């Protein structure tokens, strides 16, 4: 009789589950059954790595446990039967950190912390198998883990300290700082004794010791299950077999089938999954008669290991190793079977392409007749009657047959939209039989892997590029109607060129390798002043230990009794009238409680709660569509159910009938239709007449237009809210918002109740970047309407897909401009008109339009006029994003500077330095440039990076390298702070009688280190150890009417120092009386009825320092030098080095500030390279997944990443401890340097290629072309890689 109980161990404890639902994932079980919430959910598709756990099974042959990292969100629970599962909670805790947790937390490798448990467990699985890995092995293990905050440098530096040997500049603090002590030209000279080099010394930390880890349970070693088990769920039946003899139907692991099945909302969508997880015969590797028999139950990782162990051809092994080193993630590679990959016959499957190129054989078993047959790859992939393969429905794959001594020469190629490991855009493989001279070339690009007949006829050797192009054209002709046809055809030409040269043994210059030099990080900063310690010290993030142990709590980790779950019903039309809504099918699903929409807003409540005189920003976004939908993804209503999976599936069953209306989907269409949010544009600068006159008088006129696309925030934590009704119509909200005060007011307006009845609490955010200033209402507002209707607590945590299609992005922008310059390249006048795509409602778009006042960036323009129109389109309402509109304007101005340099025949660096602001200049925004150090940062950076030498080296390299080109450039940034609108903050401080202090400020911790700096400030004022300070959650019942947490200005405006100073004034006499004993002084003060708590609201001091009331008090400035390598054949590129110098005044915490600089740079690097929002003709986002939207990975981190904080800048005396806030834009703009580095490549590239490199970001790679017109205009346009 089949068993229905699975047994496994979690963190050393035995777990037995009776008949688990086959659809139940390991992550859901861990989080909601065992309450192990350290396993985070960021994507629910096995891509982001936040849910990474370590899974161990006993290997009887090796007599040891083998550990693998796995994505718990895609692993069905039943597949861990007989395994040991380790989560981040199981290896360490805040009180006793594991060495991995200690190095990540002490190494400043956490910011928001949401992704940190995944990185911990990915590294843990690696170290359990290999305690002394190489740096390359560590990086390979982390490629499946994504981070949106840190930029990866501190994560890599911390974990590569386990490497043998650890490498990189100053890593581990071994023997001081070679950069600082060296006499090389590009080193930091010895005359800077006040500078501190490096943030962490890893040599002082505990080593990884396998003997102290959880052992594999002896019970699982001894246990040998003889019988199969069968599991019955609501919608699925799963059977796992122990013997091949008992199998009677098609077999799979269940991973892909479960993921596909979960997307089917029907409650009657029954399925049968049969698993080969435990069939011994299919888990073996046997070598017989020169053939390697690789069992079909093995994973892709195990397939690669088998090839490595048993194949006698070094070229075979190295080629296959290199190909699968680019696999999207180790977690997936460790989980999915190679047989499942072959069965898919997908063109993006690297294994399918390799299989067909080498024409390996495969063994099939007929379950009806028990007969075996063997097919070649040609035969297997020749499916008929609509089937992808020749495998019958009653057949299963049992083994792959690979020659152990292959006679063929092979080559492989893979190209993704990101450098390094990624999903394939195009893969290729080739084999060559030297005896017969035959060649077989296969490309995976469209529909299924394809043998290229014409290309294969080229055989091997160096073929003329014209012959290769003609062959590819002929082979690809049948796919001419496919998407991305031209793009993939050009990549295929590069693939064919590379592989033919490899087969001929004449490799001269290939593409970019993912193999990296040792990471060379460096952080330089001024030493702290002991009199104000711990201010100025690089303390780690205050919650770093909880981040890395999984103890840090986010909204979805909060457990509320009887909590119900809401899922949104979203529009599928861009612009339409709603004819009818029928939720009956959804309400019929077991566990569904209610359907909620606009009709459920109570009397007195507002459908558009952001339209209120009490709010600074007026926004007409409705909570639910009411009669008309105006974007795909607009919330129409929501379904509330007992669990989140039921709610999400049922929401898809709500039937909405539409009458389509005309839709405006693009900026061009909106301009033609004059579809604007406001009747007039935002305007700054000179009058039209003055600018026209200046343009007419300018010796040289440039004119053109350019466009930049949007960017998805992709916070690791999606929009999330929990709403809890209380007595007396009072409410407590736990929500992921950057703006708790507005959330409080909006909920009150929505329900029509007093604001004082609502308390909003925010402990931390799993990333924000501006996307949770207003975007959080998409989850919060439906939840509170539902909770009000049901009078039960309701959670709304958006699925990643829903989050990406409903929430606003960075605004796409179009610029039309005229620029007047003199013969030296000096800017005389600029007239620019910007158009931003606002979307269907206001959100923050009007404020973003106002940011056109910063269109002069960091350059002096005597006569400038800037205008911005916010365009109303039937698309998502775009919102604030790091930099808040200014990155778009910097992109414009940096592009203009490149055009100026090209026109006057000077280097870009010369022209930019010529036009930089000077102290005392007047900016376009109307403020005087003061407390400003950009020229100094620039000069210091030229020396720090040895820019002139780098520039010459790039020129020499490009003369001799035909395919790989290098470019180097410097770019600057400037941000004026603080705006008088935001110069008010509040803080609440309580001193306890034991000498500890509790702090609550009116801003939110979201990874920027605000709480850490607050702790340092409070400790400095009270002169007590920083460990005695605790910053608690932001809550509107303690700090009300606070401003939004934005622009990284929280440290400037929170007012904590004033509150602490106010308290200290009262207790100082008692401190003196008790000779500095703080605890005794507090008791004395308390007895004397001296207040020990204070709530202070302050503003930035201006009058005392003769500062005009509405001008900016100081400017955060910085400069970056970036060197990039570009593959001219594919468009791939690699950051070789990044050096950054920033003026942050006297930094309160250098570790926090440097982390923000690095993270902003890498996030902007994604904007300009790999990140692209793809839509169809109806504006439906087609890559609304973490796998489809390409944020940077660990493979994209520069080999040399150095940051220095300027030690002698100009500070505003009215700022807290003379610091300058980092400014989310202050470092975010530096990433535009990436685009400028390619410009010096153009002349060299065009010398070797038939055309110039082209501009702008497309298909993941940054390429630039300036196309001069006869009228001296310039235009920037989208084209494809390799279009020379």
pLDDT of residue 776: 95
pLDDT at 259: 74
CB crowding 196-206: b at 16 or more within 10 Å, else e = bbbbbebeebe
Query: Which of 45, 302, 942, 1224 is labelled catalytic?
Result: 1224
| Distance, CA of 494 to CA of 1281 (rounded, Å) | 11
Q: What is the pLDDT of residue 246?
A: 63
The pLDDT, as a whole number, for residue 1283 is 29
pLDDT band at 462 (very low <50, low <70, confident <90, very high): low
Name the token pair of 897: 């500077």
Using alpha carbons, select from 431, 435, 361 the residue that is nearest to residue 400. Answer: 361
- Flag whether pLDDT at 128 surpasses 80: yes
Q: Is the pLDDT of residue 1258 over 50?
A: no
Concerning whether 371 is annotated as a catalytic residue, the answer is: no
Q: What is the mean pLDDT of residues 1119-1133?
A: 90
pLDDT: which is higher, 633 or 265:
633
Question: Given the DSSP bridges, would you call strands 576-582 and 655-660 parallel, antiparallel or unpaired?
Answer: antiparallel
Rounded mean pLDDT of 333-351?
Answer: 90
What's phi and psi for 69, nearest 5 deg? -85, 145
Q: Please, where are the H alpha helices in 399-484?
A: 453-456, 465-476
Q: What is the CA radius of gyration of the chain?
A: 31
The one-character DSSP state at 146 is -
Residue 583 near residue 651 (C-beta atoms within 8 A): no
Spatial distance between the Cα atoms of 301 and 321, rounded to a whole number of angstroms: 10
CB 410 within 8 A of CB 429: yes
- Going across the sheet that includes 64-71, the strands are 13-18, 5-10, 84-86, 52-59, 64-71
Q: Note the pLDDT of residue 661.
A: 98
DSSP string, 547-585: HHHT----GGG---TT-EEEEEEE-SSSSEEEEEEE-HH
Give the end-to-end CA distance of the chain in Å, rounded to a whole number. Answer: 68
Predicted confidence at residue 178, as pLDDT, reads: 44
Q: What is the pLDDT of residue 1276?
A: 33
Residue 957 has pLDDT above 60, yes or no: yes
Average pLDDT, the chain: 89
Q: Token match 């490096």: residue? A: 198
Beta-carbon-side half-sphere exposure of residue 1020 (alpha carbons within 13 Å): 23
Q: Per-residue pLDDT for 1208 more than 90?
A: no
* Cβ count within 10 A of residue 165: 12
How confident is the model over 73-102, as pLDDT tens digits? 999 999 899 999 999 999 999 999 999 999
User: Is the pLDDT reported for residue 604 higher than 50?
Assistant: yes
Which secondary structure element, helix H or strand E, spans residue 525, and what is its range? strand 520-526
pLDDT tens for each residue of 273-326: 777 777 888 889 999 999 999 999 899 999 999 999 999 999 999 999 999 999
pLDDT in tens, 321-341: 999 999 988 999 998 899 988
pLDDT band at 465 (very low <50, low <70, confident <90, very high): confident
Q: Write down the pTM of the prediction.
A: 0.94
1185, burial (CB in 10 Å: exposed 0-12, middle 13-18, buried 19+): middle
Residue labelled with tokens 């009490």: 614
Q: Is the peptide bond before 319 cis (omega within 30 degrees of 0)?
A: no
Which residues, 6 or more positions from 956, have their beta carbon under 8 angstroms from its beta carbon?
Answer: none
Quickly state the pLDDT bin for 225 (edges 50, 70, 90): low
pLDDT band at 922 (very low <50, low <70, confident <90, very high): very high
**Least confident stretch, 70-84, 563-577, 1254-1268:** 1254-1268
Q: Check residue 1049 and give its pLDDT.
A: 76
Q: What is the pLDDT of residues 926-948, one digit of tens each?
A: 999 999 999 999 999 999 999 99
Confidence class for position 1097, pLDDT limits 50, 70, 90:
confident
- CA dihedral (462, 463, 464, 468) positive or negative: negative
Sign of CA dihedral 34, 40, 45, 48: negative
Q: What percent of the chain has pLDDT over 90?
A: 72
Residue 1137: CA count within 13 A, CB half-sphere = 23
- Give CA separation, 813 vs 600, 647, 707, 769, 889, in Å: 38, 37, 6, 19, 9
CA nearest to 1176, candidates 1165, 1184, 1186, 1167: 1184
Sign of CA dihedral 1246, 1249, 1250, 1256: negative
pLDDT in tens, 841-876: 999 999 999 999 999 999 999 999 999 999 999 999
Closest-CA residue to 885 (of 899, 862, 866, 863)? 866
Query: Is the pLDDT score of 461 beyond 80?
Result: no
Q: How far is CA 112 from CA 148, 552, 837, 1011, 1156, in A?
A: 9, 10, 29, 12, 11
Residue 250's pLDDT is 52
Cα–Cα–Cα angle for 864, 868, 871, rounded to 5 degrees: 165
> Residue 177 pLDDT > 70, yes or no?
no
Highest mean pLDDT among 166-180, 547-561, 1250-1264: 547-561
Per-residue pLDDT at 1017: 94
756, 700 Cβ separation under 8 angstroms? no
**Which of 163-172, 327-336, 886-895, 1200-1209 shows the lowest mean pLDDT across its residues?**
163-172
- Top pLDDT among 974 and 265 is at 974
Report residue 269's pLDDT band, with 50, 70 and 90 as the boundaries: confident
- Check if the beta carbon of residue 73 is closer than 8 Å to that of residue 339: no
Q: Which residue has the higher pLDDT, 437 or 870?
A: 870
pLDDT at 1119 over 50: yes
What pLDDT score was predicted for residue 1121? 95
Q: What is the pLDDT of residues 891-905, one digit of tens each?
A: 999 999 999 999 999
């Amino acid at each position: 009789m089949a068993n229905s109980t699975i047994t496994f161990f979690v963190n050393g404890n035995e777990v037995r589950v009776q008949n688990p639902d086959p659809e139940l994932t390991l992550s859901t079980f861990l989080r909601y059954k065992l309450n192990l919430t350290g396993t985070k959910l960021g994507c629910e598709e096995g891509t982001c790595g936040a849910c990474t756990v370590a899974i161990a099974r006993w290997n009887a042959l090796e007599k040891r446990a083998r550990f693998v990292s796995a994505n718990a969100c895609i692993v069905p629970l039943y597949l861990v039967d007989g395994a040991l599962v380790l989560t981040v909670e199981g290896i360490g805790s805040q009180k006793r950190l594991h060495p991995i947790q200690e190095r990540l937390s002490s190494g400043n490798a956490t910011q928001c912390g949401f992704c940190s448990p995944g990185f911990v467990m990915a590294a843990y699985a690696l170290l359990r198998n290999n305690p002394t890995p190489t740096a390359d092995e560590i990086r390979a293990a982390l490629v499946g883990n994504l981070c949106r905050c840190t930029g990866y440098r501190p994560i890599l530096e911390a974990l590569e300290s386990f490497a043998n040997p650890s490498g990189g500049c100053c890593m581990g603090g071994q023997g001081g700082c070679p950069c600082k002590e060296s006499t090389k030209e590009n080193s930091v000279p010895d005359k800077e004794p006040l500078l501190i080099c490096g943030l962490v010394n890893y040599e002082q930390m505990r080593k990884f010791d396998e003997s102290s880890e959880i052992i594999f349970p002896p019970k699982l070693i001894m246990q040998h299950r003889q019988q199969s088990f069968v599991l019955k769920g609501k919608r699925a039946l799963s059977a796992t077999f122990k013997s091949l003899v008992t199998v009677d139907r098609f077999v799979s692991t269940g991973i892909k089938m479960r993921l596909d099945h979960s997307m089917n909302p029907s409650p009657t969508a029954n399925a049968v999954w049969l698993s080969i997880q435990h069939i011994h015969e299919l888990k073996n590797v046997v070598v017989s008669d020169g053939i390697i028999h690789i069992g079909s139950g093995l994973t892709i990782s195990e397939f690669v290991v088998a090839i490595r162990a048993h194949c006698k051809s070094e070229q075979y092994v190295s080629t296959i190793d290199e190909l699968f080193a680019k696999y999207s993630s180790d977690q997936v590679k460790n989980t999915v079977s190679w047989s499942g990959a072959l069965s898919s016959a997908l063109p993006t499957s690297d294994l399918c392409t390799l299989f067909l190129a080498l024409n390996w054989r495969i063994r099939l078993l007929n379950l009806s007749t028990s007969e075996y047959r063997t097919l070649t790859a040609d035969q297997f992939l020749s499916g008929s009657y609509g089937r992808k393969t020749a495998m019958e429905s009653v057949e299963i794959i049992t083994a792959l047959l690979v020659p152990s001594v292959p006679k063929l020469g092979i080559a492989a190629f893979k190209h993704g939209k990101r450098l390094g490991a990624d999903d394939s855009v195009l893969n290729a493989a080739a084999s060559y039989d030297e005896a017969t001279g035959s060649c077989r070339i296969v490309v995976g690009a469209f529909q299924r892997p394809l043998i290229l007949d014409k290309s294969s006829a080229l055989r091997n050797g160096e073929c003329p590029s014209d012959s290769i192009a003609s062959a590819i054209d002929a082979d690809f002709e049948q796919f001419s109607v496919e998407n991305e046809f031209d793009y993939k055809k050009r990549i295929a030409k590069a693939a064919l060129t590379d592989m033919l040269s490899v087969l001929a043994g004449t490799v001269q210059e290939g593409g970019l390798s993912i193999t990296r030099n040792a990471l060379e990080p460096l952080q330089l900063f001024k030493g702290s002043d002991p009199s104000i310690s711990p201010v100025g010290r690089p303390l780690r993030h205050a919650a770093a230990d909880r981040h890395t142990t999984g103890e840090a709590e986010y909204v979805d980790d909060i457990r509320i009794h009887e909590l119900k779950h809401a899922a949104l019903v979203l529009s599928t039309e861009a612009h339409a009238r709603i004819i009818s809504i029928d939720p009956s099918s959804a309400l019929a699903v077991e566990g569904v409680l209610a359907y909620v929409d606009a009709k459920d807003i109570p009397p007195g409540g507002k459908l558009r709660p952001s339209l209120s005189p009490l709010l600074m920003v007026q926004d007409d976004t409705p909570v639910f569509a009411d009669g008309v939908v105006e974007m795909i993804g607009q919330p129409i209503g929501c379904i509330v159910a007992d669990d989140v999976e039921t709610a999400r599936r049922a929401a898809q069953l709500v039937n909405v009938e539409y009458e389509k209306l005309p839709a405006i989907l693009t900026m061009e269409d909106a301009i033609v239709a004059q579809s604007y949010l406001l009747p007039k544009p935002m305007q700054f600068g000179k009058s039209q007449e003055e600018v026209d006159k200046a343009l007419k008088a300018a010796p040289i006129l440039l004119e053109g237009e350019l466009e930049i696309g949007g960017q998805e925030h992709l916070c690791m934590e999606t929009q999330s809210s929990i709403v809890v009704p209380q007595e007396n119509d009072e409410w407590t909200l736990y929500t992921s918002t950057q703006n708790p005060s507005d959330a409080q007011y909006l909920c009150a307006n929505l329900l029509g109740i007093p604001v004082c009845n609502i308390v909003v609490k925010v402990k931390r955010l799993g990333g924000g970047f501006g996307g949770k200033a207003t975007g959080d209402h998409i989850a919060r507002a439906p939840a509170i309407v539902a909770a009000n209707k049901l009078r039960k607590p309701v959670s709304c945590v958006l699925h990643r897909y829903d989050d990406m299609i409903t929430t606003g992005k960075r605004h796409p922008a179009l610029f039309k401009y005229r620029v007047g310059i003199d013969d030296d390249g000096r800017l005389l006048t600029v007239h620019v008109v910007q158009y931003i795509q606002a979307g269907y409602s206001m959100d923050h778009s009007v404020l973003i339009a106002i940011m056109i006042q910063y269109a002069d960036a960091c350059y002096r323009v005597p006569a400038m006029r800037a205008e911005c129109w916010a365009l109303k389109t039937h698309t998502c309402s775009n919102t604030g994003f790091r930099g808040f509109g200014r990155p778009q304007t910097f992109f414009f101005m940096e592009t203009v500077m490149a055009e100026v340099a090209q026109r006057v025949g000077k280097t870009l660096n010369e022209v930019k330095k010529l036009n930089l602001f000077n102290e005392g200049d007047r900016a376009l925004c109307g403020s005087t440039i003061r407390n400003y150090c950009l020229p100094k940062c620039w000069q210091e950076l030229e020396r720090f990076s040895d820019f002139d030498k780098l520039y010459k080296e790039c020129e020499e390299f490009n003369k001799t390298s035909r395919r790989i080109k290098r470019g180097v450039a410097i770019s600057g940034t400037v941000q004026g702070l603080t705006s008088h609108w935001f110069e008010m903050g509040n803080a609440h401080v309580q001193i306890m009688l034991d000498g500890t202090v509790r702090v609550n400020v009116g801003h939110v911790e979201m990874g920027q280190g605000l709480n850490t700096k607050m702790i340092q400030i409070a400790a400095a004022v009270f002169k007590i150890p920083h460990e005695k300070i605790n910053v608690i959650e932001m809550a509107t019942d303690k700090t009300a009417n606070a401003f939004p947490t934005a622009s990284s200005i929280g440290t400037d405006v929170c007012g904590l120092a004033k509150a602490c100073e106010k308290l200290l004034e009262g207790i100082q006499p008692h401190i003196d009386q008790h000779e500095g004993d703080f605890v005794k002084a507090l008791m004395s003060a308390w007895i004397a009825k001296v207040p020990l708590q204070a709530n202070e609201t302050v503003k930035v001091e201006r009058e005392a320092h003769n500062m005009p009331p509405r001008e900016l008090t100081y400017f955060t400035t910085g400069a970056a030098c970036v060197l990039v390598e570009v593959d001219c054949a594919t468009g791939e590129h690699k950051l070789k080095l990044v050096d950054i110098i920033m003026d942050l005044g006297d930094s309160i915490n250098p570790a926090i500030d440097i982390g923000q600089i690095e993270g902003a740079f890498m996030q902007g690097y994604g904007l300009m390279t790999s990140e692209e929002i793809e839509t169809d003709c109806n504006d439906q986002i087609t890559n609304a997944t973490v796998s489809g939207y390409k944020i940077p990975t660990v493979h994209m981190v520069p080999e040399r990443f150095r940051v220095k904080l300027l030690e002698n800048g100009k500070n505003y005396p009215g700022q807290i401890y003379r610091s300058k806030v980092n400014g989310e834009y202050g470092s975010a703009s530096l990433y535009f340097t990436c685009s400028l580095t390619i410009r010096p490549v153009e002349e060299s590239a065009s010398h070797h290629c038939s055309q110039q490199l082209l501009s702008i970001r497309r298909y993941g790679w940054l390429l630039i072309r300036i196309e001069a017109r006869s009228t001296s205009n310039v235009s920037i346009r989208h084209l494809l890689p390799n279009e020379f």
